[in-house]
């Protein structure tokens, strides 16, 4: 229901929705009751009408048929007299005149014969007696000036072999009255065969029919009418209709298919006592029509019932109920508006207050509620909320300033941390044997990853990478300790395994927070390319040979630094050829996640490194960094990412770099 949803769209006020819903519901209930009442009354009236119509129509039919039988009897009887007579012309004329003398209701009568019935060789013999100014005028037509053989009154009963009532006609001679002729075929048995010899007629005025139909009174504007077998209007309250129109021409003029159908039913001898859709010809109003056949002449009588008059009582009751109901609806509307306004008034006030509170005015006065209903509860809740909100804001201000302080300190901590690890590249511009690049991207403000490198003497480069368990300030502090310790142990001891062992010992003592660090230390002899290294649970670094081979450094499985005080660590060695590279990283690289929480993986890293083996350290690290960023998309970084790469040039830096850079 688009109208309803538009009417009740969410932006409408509560009062409006309330009023519309209640008012609409009440209106629907009311309308249903009124409609039911109206339908019931209407059906009752219609039922009575049907009974009434049937009685009225059938009574008229009975009257008409009684009259018709009366008329029919006369020529029927006289035809018997003629058929049993001597068939002389004189007898014929005498019988014809007698028919008129004895039956004043007959206006005229004719006797017409087939050619040569009297054996005189004459084609025409017709006698016509008609009343004229109280006398009976006798006419004899024998010369063919009146071609009666083709006249309906002669030809139809002859062809149909039965008596017949003619279509109605105006008779000017009789003073412009409507008449109908009843024709009876005459037969004579000649040579043992029954042969048609002529027609006897009786012309009957239809004034009596008009009187019967006129007597049908139906309320003020109802009326009766009669149609002939052709649908011609025989009697009708409107004189002009009579004889001029057929029920079908009226239907055509009105453009009414229903009326045409009613007409067809009427002339086919059907009956019906409740058919709507007949338009009263007198006033154009829709009416009921009842009709029944007059079987003797196949005409039909129709009675028109003015619906508006029949329904007048029902309609006036209906109107009164509707008016009463509208008054009631109006009353309900006023009440609903009043109630809903009083309910929503404090709501509207609260709305205004809450806006002011939202703008920071926590002291805004709440409306006073005198009732003790839900509105009061809402008011109290609101007041409580107002109070709590004010407290909370004070609290929040304090918390916020505290947090701001912590954040500022954390920023400083990060600066210090980042300052602890070397971050100037190239780190040894004077050393032609190597090049080195490293980055550390902390996941939070401060991280637990670390890397470091320094020269033990002119030919020994010490470098390390590590990852402290946990994150944040504790991890960073542990990392700082680790890094400081490395520098101190590396200055005294000789081998990477010894460095780690010393480191482990120091960190394991008094490690109450149970933190640990994975750690890798290598010492590279710049003259020979010999690399000695030891590992404490860190991801194996990757060695990228000049020829493109990429593989993990050989390591044993060891546990991180800071777990067991007496742990010993193995030392390994490998020789770097000129152009070989090392790539070290923390698990922040391989465990970087994409949107579906899939990890970046060692395989992807190895493949990337293998595909770009000639790249110098900084390019290589930036490449991996970009690839991780592309892989992770907008997924936040969950762990520190640390990478370090060292290339060993030996004595051929110029040649090697030229080859690569070009």
Partner 1 sequence: MMTKRLGLFSVIVLAVLIPVSCKSKAPVPAEKKAPGPSQTPAPAAELRNVTFLPYWVANAQFAGYYVAKEKGIYEKYGMDVEIIPYEPFYTTSQMIQRGTIDFAASWLLNAIEIKASGVDIVNIAQFSTRSSLMLLTKKSSGINTLQDMNGKKAGIWTGYELQPRALFKKYDLNVEIVPIGSTNNLFLRDGVPITNANWFDEFHSIINAGYNPDELNIFFFADLGLNFLEDGIYCLAEKRRQDPRLCEDFVAATAEGWRTVFDDPEKAIDIVVDYARKRNLPVNRAHQRWMLDRYRDLYYPEGKFSTVLAEKDYLFCAGVLKDSGQIAAIPAFTSFFVPVELKLAPRKDD
Site of interaction with partner 1 (CB under 8 A): 110, 128, 145-153, 155-156, 159-160, 164, 166-167, 169-170, 172, 176, 181, 203, 229-232, 243-246, 248-250, 252-253, 263-264, 267-268
Angle, vertex CA 251, rays to CA 246 and CA 256, nearest 5: 165
* Contact residues for 635 (Cβ-Cβ < 8 A; gap 6+): 593, 594, 595
CA–CA dist 466, 541 (Å, integer): 11
Rg of the chain (C-alpha set): 62
Please, where are the H alpha helices in 373-462? Answer: 374-420
CA–CA dist 581, 562 (Å, integer): 30
- Write down the least CB distance from residue 203 to partner 1, Å: 8
* Contact residues for 106 (Cβ-Cβ < 8 A; gap 6+): 71, 74, 99, 100, 202, 203, 204
Measure the N-to-C terminal CA separation of the chain; round to a whole number of Å: 75
Nearest CB to partner 1, comparing residues 12 and 123: 123
- Write down the least CB distance from residue 22 to partner 1, Å: 56
Nearest CB to partner 1, comparing residues 164 and 467: 164
Nearest CB to partner 1, comparing residues 31 and 253: 253
Angle between helices 374-420 and 312-358 (to 10 degrees): 40
- Write down the least CB distance from residue 245 to partner 1, Å: 5
* Contact residues for 387 (Cβ-Cβ < 8 A; gap 6+): none
CA–CA dist 307, 301 (Å, integer): 19
Nearest CB to partner 1, comparing residues 151 and 337: 151
Nearest CB to partner 1, comparing residues 150 and 557: 150
- Write down the least CB distance from residue 117 to partner 1, Å: 19
Side-chain-side CA neighbours of residue 14 (13 Å): 11
Does residue 522 contact residue 533 with C-beta atoms inside 8 Å?
yes
Nearest CB to partner 1, comparing residues 265 and 652: 265
**Residues across the chain:** 662
- Write down the least CB distance from residue 111 to partner 1, Å: 13
- Write down the least CB distance from residue 150 to partner 1, Å: 4
- Write down the least CB distance from residue 265 to partner 1, Å: 9
Does residue 525 contact residue 568 with C-beta atoms inside 8 Å?
no
**Helices H / strands E in the chain, number of each:** 16, 22
Does residue 301 contact residue 294 with C-beta atoms inside 8 Å?
yes
Helix/strand/coil for 234: strand
Nearest CB to partner 1, comparing residues 181 and 642: 181
- Write down the least CB distance from residue 212 to partner 1, Å: 23
- Write down the least CB distance from residue 126 to partner 1, Å: 10
Nearest CB to partner 1, comparing residues 160 and 385: 160
Nearest CB to partner 1, comparing residues 249 and 354: 249
Does residue 502 contact residue 569 with C-beta atoms inside 8 Å?
no
- Write down the least CB distance from residue 284 to partner 1, Å: 16
- Write down the least CB distance from residue 260 to partner 1, Å: 8
Nearest CB to partner 1, comparing residues 91 and 230: 230
CA–CA dist 548, 569 (Å, integer): 30
CB neighbours of residue 654 within 10 Å? 10
- Write down the least CB distance from residue 161 to partner 1, Å: 10
CA–CA dist 214, 53 (Å, integer): 16
Distance of CA 533 to the CA centre of its chain: 74
Nearest CB to partner 1, comparing residues 269 and 367: 269
- Write down the least CB distance from residue 231 to partner 1, Å: 5
Nearest CB to partner 1, comparing residues 106 and 450: 106
Nearest CB to partner 1, comparing residues 116 and 230: 230
Q: Print burial letters for 8-46: b (CB count within 10 Å at least 16), e (below 16).
A: eeeeeeebeebbeebbeebeeebeeeeeeebeebbeebb
Nearest CB to partner 1, comparing residues 112 and 489: 112
Detail the DSSP E strand segments found in 221-343. 223-227, 233-235, 272-279, 286-294, 299-306
- Write down the least CB distance from residue 320 to partner 1, Å: 43
Token pair of 217, please?
């009174």
């Amino acid at each position: 229901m688009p109208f309803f949803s538009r009417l009740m769209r969410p932006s409408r006020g509560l009062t409006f929705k309330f009023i519309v819903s209640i008012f609409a519901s009440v209106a629907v209930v009311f309308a249903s009751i009124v409609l039911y009442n109206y339908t019931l009354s209407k059906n009752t009236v219609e039922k009575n009408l049907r009974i009434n119509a049937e009685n009225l129509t059938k009574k008229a039919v009975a009257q008409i048929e009684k009259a018709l039988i009366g008329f029919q009897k006369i020529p029927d009887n006289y035809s018997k007299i003629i058929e049993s007579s001597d068939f002389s012309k004189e007898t014929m004329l005498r019988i014809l005149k007698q028919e008129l003398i004895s039956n004043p209701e007959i206006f005229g009568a004719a006797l017409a014969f087939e050619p040569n019935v009297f054996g005189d060789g004459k084609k025409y013999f017709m006698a016509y007696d008609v009343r004229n100014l109280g006398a009976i005028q006798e006419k004899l037509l024998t010369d063919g000036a009146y071609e009666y053989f083709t006249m309906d009154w002669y030809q139809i009963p002859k062809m149909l072999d039965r008596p017949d009532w003619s279509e109605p006609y105006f008779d000017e001679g009789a003073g412009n009255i409507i008449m109908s002729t009843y024709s009876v075929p005459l037969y004579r048995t000649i040579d043992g065969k029954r042969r048609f010899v002529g027609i006897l007629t009786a012309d009957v005025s239809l004034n009596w029919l008009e009187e019967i139909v006129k007597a049908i009174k139906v309320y003020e504007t109802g009326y009766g009418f009669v149609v002939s077998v052709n649908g011609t209007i025989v009697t009708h309250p409107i004189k002009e209709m009579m004889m001029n129109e057929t029920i079908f021409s009226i239907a055509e003029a009105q453009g009414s298919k229903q009326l045409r159908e009613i007409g067809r039913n009427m002339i086919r001898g059907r009956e019906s006592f409740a058919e709507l859709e007949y338009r009263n010809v007198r006033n154009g109003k829709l009416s009921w029509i009842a009709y029944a056949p007059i079987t003797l002449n196949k005409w039909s009588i129709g009675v028109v019932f003015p619906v508006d008059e029949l329904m007048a009582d029902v309609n006036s009751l209906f109107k009164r109920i509707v008016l009463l109901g509208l008054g009631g609806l109006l009353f309900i509307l006023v009440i609903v508006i009043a109630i809903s306004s009083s309910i929503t008034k404090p709501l509207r006030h609260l709305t205004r207050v809450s806006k002011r509170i939202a703008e920071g005015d926590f002291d805004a006065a709440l409306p006073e509620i005198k009732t003790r209903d839900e509105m009061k509860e809402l008011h109290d809740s609101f007041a409580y909320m107002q109070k709590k909100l004010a407290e909370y804001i004070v609290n929040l201000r304090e918390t916020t300033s505290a947090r701001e302080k912590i954040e500022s300190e954390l920023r400083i901590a990060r600066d210090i941390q980042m300052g602890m690890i070397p971050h100037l590249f190239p780190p040894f511009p004077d050393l032609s044997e190597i090049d080195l690049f490293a980055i550390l991207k902390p996941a939070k403000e401060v991280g637990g990853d670390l890397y470091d490198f320094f020269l033990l003497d002119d030919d020994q480069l010490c470098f390390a990478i590590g990852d402290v368990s946990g994150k944040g300030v504790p991890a960073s502090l542990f990392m700082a300790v680790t890094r400081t310790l490395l520098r101190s142990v590396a200055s005294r001891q000789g081998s990477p395994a010894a460095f780690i062992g010393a480191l482990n010992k120091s960190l394991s003592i008094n490690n109450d927070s149970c933190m640990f660090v994975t750690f890798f230390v290598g010492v590279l002899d710049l003259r020979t390319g010999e690399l000695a290294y030891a590992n404490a649970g860190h991801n194996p670094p990757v060695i990228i040979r000049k020829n493109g081979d990429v593989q993990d450094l050989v390591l044993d499985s060891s546990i991180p630094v800071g777990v067991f005080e007496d742990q010993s660590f193995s030392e390994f060695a490998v020789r770097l050829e000129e152009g070989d590279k090392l790539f070290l990283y923390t698990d922040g690289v391989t465990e970087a996640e994409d949107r579906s929480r899939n990890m970046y993986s060692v395989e992807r890293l190895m493949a990337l490194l293998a595909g770009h083996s000639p790249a110098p350290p900084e390019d290589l690290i930036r490449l991996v960094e970009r690839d991780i960023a592309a892989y992770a998309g907008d997924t936040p970084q969950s762990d520190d990412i640390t990478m370090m790469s060292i290339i060993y040039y030996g004595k051929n830096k110029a040649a090697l770099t030229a080859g690569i850079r070009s």
